[in-house]
Amino acid sequence: MTQTPALLVLEDGRTFTGQAYGATGSTVGEIVFNTGMTGYQETLTDPSYHRQIVVMTAPHIGNTGINDEDPESTRIWVAGYVVRDPAIRPSSWRSRRTLDAGLEAEGVVGISGIDTRALTRHLRERGVMRAGIFSGEALVDDAGRRRTDVELLDQVTAAAPMSGADLAGEVTVAEPYVVEPVRGPVSAAEPVATVVAIDLGIKSMTPQRLAERGVRTHVLPARATAEEVLALEPDGVFFSNGPGDPSAAVHEIGLLREVLDRRIPFFGICYGNQLLGRALGFGTYKLTYGHRGVNQPVLDRRTRKVEITAHNHGFAVDAPLDGETVAPFGDGRYGRVTVSHVALNDDVVEGLECLDLPAFSVQYHPEAAAGPHDAGYLFDRFVELMTTGTVPDRATGATGATTTEESTTDAPSH
């Protein structure tokens, strides 16, 4: 079978030659690598990868094909896909189509047959950057001549960078919807709590994890107002994962401050962790190459246990790692904050806990549909916070200090 040539062009001018995989054509975006050996379907359908070309470091991809049960959203979100050795045929009984066919059906341009190890090492040394994949007619000009690498590079550098990008509005749900609690075979049971989840790029497994714990979840668009949130009388508010630069999420940060001012229990993951950090007055910064995969070690400082966790983030919170810190925003009106979780590979902030407000967040994905499930207890913490005002101590089973008591710092009345 004749294979269509394809070319990967990096922003710094390095190129890799391979074969088209998925759709042919051209695509540009920020190129990042994912170190997971499983869960590629969940990765492809994660809205957090919007405008990113994903490189899989595992060499053999596509073994289980594509099924209709595992997507985390209604479509593939990656801008492009890079694999070394695609499977010839899927071997899972759940498969409905090949990965190649699934990518082609949704117009996702990919490339295979390149040295993904060399590419990953290059990105680790130079940092993630913009890139483009070109195949088929995208490699030739109107006269039928092969376009030069310089011409293709110009197309890459014309793409918008990820820094400063406000993308939640491009991936959020168009209309609100509700996920009812599920207890065993019985659905729509009387909820133990009602949560408003702000969809910044939410994955379908997140409200499912809450439903398993008896929670009714109202999923609202990213541009929801405080009035729309409060009208649902939530016991808690959740901010999801999502793409983009947290410094650009002005509306969402303002909404979160409204939640904190009203002392509504809050839980955020990934992008939601970054937005909590900014709402509290901390900065955020872009990581050199980010954390992406299902094998990232994180220390829970409360329990001293190490969790293997699922990550997908290129930005991080800039907060003091040691001891308690008074949140800088509003002359300390949100009280004390501590870094609750830290990445063991590079000491990146992986979680925040407010000591004078009922709010906490983590940088990784406790819902982790493809695993691991070490961090699933965080949903239990959220439920406990909403129903009793306390959080359970995972190490001892004891209940921690109440976090909903009045803060010692002054907060505005609303």
Q: What is the DSSP string of 65-116?
A: -B-SS--SSSS--BSEEE-SEE-SS---TT--B-HHHHHHHTT-EEEESS-H
Within 10 angstroms of residue 180's Cβ, the number of other Cβ atoms is: 14
Q: What pLDDT is attached to residue 152? A: 97
Average pLDDT over residues 182-195: 73
Question: Half-sphere exposure of residue 132, counting CA atoms within 13 Å on the CB side?
Answer: 24
**Tokens coding 186:** 């019985």
Q: Are 250 and 220 in contact (CB under 8 A)?
A: no
Angle of helix 271-279 versus helix 250-261 axis, rounded to 10? 70
Average pLDDT over residues 303-329: 94
Average pLDDT over residues 247-271: 97
Which of 36-40, 150-154, 354-358, 380-384 has the weakest average pLDDT?
36-40
Q: What pLDDT is attached to residue 366? A: 86
Write the DSSP string, 16-50. EEEEEEEB-SEEEEEEEEE--SS-HHHHHT-GGGB
Q: What are phi and psi of 130, to 5 degrees?
A: -75, 150
- Cα(19)–Cα(9) distance, integer angstroms: 13
Q: What pLDDT is attached to residue 409? A: 33
Catalytic residues, which ones?
Answer: 270, 365, 367
Say if residue 282 carries a ligand binding annotation. Answer: no
pLDDT at 397 over 50: no
pLDDT at 279 over 60: yes
Within 10 angstroms of residue 98's Cβ, the number of other Cβ atoms is: 17
Say if residue 242 carries a ligand binding annotation. Answer: yes
Q: What pLDDT is attached to residue 412? A: 34
Q: Are 156 and 9 in contact (CB under 8 A)?
A: yes
pLDDT at 359 over 90: yes
CATH number of 168-388: 3.40.50.880
Please provide the size of the chain in residues: 414
Say if residue 135 carries a ligand binding annotation. Answer: no
Q: List the one residue out of 157, 152, 141 whose CA is nearest residue 30.
A: 157
Within its chain, how far is the Cα of 53 from the centroid?
A: 15
Q: What pLDDT is attached to residue 324? A: 96
- Cα(49)–Cα(341) distance, integer angstroms: 23
Cα→Cα distances 402→92, 210, 301, 413, Å: 48, 22, 18, 21
**Tokens coding 148:** 């030069």
Q: What pLDDT is attached to residue 406? A: 36
Say if residue 274 carries a ligand binding annotation. Answer: yes
Q: What pLDDT is attached to residue 393? A: 52
Say if residue 315 carries a ligand binding annotation. Answer: yes
Q: What pLDDT is attached to residue 294? A: 87
Average pLDDT over residues 376-403: 69
pLDDT band of 189, cuts 50, 70, 90: low
Residue type, 192: V
Among 187-196, 350-359, 399-408, name the most confident range.
350-359
Q: List the one residue out of 48, 30, 244, 7 whose CA is nearest residue 128.
A: 30
pLDDT at 198 over 50: yes
Helix (H) or strand (E) holding 283: strand 283-300
Q: Where are the beta strands (DSSP E) in 180-282?
A: 182-183, 186-187, 193-199, 215-221, 236-239, 266-269
**Tokens coding 36:** 């997971």
Residue type, 11: E
Which of 92-106, 179-193, 240-254 has the weakest average pLDDT?
179-193
In the block, which residue shows the tokens 């979160």? 256
Say if residue 371 carries a ligand binding annotation. Answer: no
pLDDT digits (tens, 9 = 90+) for 125-167: 999 999 999 999 999 998 889 999 999 999 999 999 999 999 9
Domain boundaries, the chain: 5-157, 168-388
pLDDT > 90 fraction of the chain, expressed in percent and rounded: 82
pLDDT band of 345, cuts 50, 70, 90: very high
Tell which CATH classification among 1.10.300.10, 3.50.30.20, 3.40.1260.10, 3.40.50.150 matches the domain 5-157. 3.50.30.20
Average pLDDT over residues 89-99: 93
Average pLDDT over residues 61-82: 93
User: Angle CA(153)–CA(43)–CA(291) in degrees, nearest 5?
Assistant: 75
Average pLDDT, the chain: 91
Write the DSSP string, 303-344. TTEEEEEEEEEEEEEE--SSSEEE--GGGGTT-EEEEEEEET
pLDDT at 1 over 90: no
Whether the predicted model's global pTM rises above the 0.85 cut:
yes
